[in-house]
Amino acid sequence: MANKLKKIAPRFRAPKSPGRDGLMPDKGKKDGSCNRTACQRPLRGKRQYYMRDYMVQDGRLYYCEPCEREFTRWDRIDRPGEELRCTLDPTTADGAAQ
């Protein structure tokens, strides 16, 4: 019985909760939580979009699809003709992270 529980236990992880600062510990990470502070939706198993993190070489910050749509809408209004900031992570294009 104990061995069976060990095998299935990883599938039943408790949801992460915000820290004292109100931020999820996995905020902005792939398969973590959306990087937009007002959102922080879970990303695992969903399409994920990223923006370059200019503070880290080759860094990426990940966002959910609803937030990507808002960023893209804003880019088209405020930055016409410029490259859109959000890019679909191709490993999550079917909605399931690889």
Q: Is 31 left (phi over 0), alpha (psi -120 to 50) or beta?
A: left
Residue 18 falls inside a structural domain: no
| Tokens of residue 31, six digits | 């398969």
Structural domain boundaries enclosing 87: 25-92
Residue 5 domain-assigned (yes or no):
no
C-alpha torsion angle, residues 29, 31, 88, 66 (rounded to 10): -90
pLDDT at residue number 13 = 47
Q: How many domains does the chain have?
A: 1
Model confidence pLDDT, tens digit, residues 10-50: 444 445 677 777 789 999 999 999 999 999 999 999 999 99
- The pLDDT tens digits for 39-96 are 999 999 999 999 987 777 778 999 999 999 999 999 999 999 999 999 999 999 886 5
Domain membership flag for residue 53: yes
**Domain annotation covers residue 43:** yes
Has residue 73 been placed in a domain?
Answer: yes
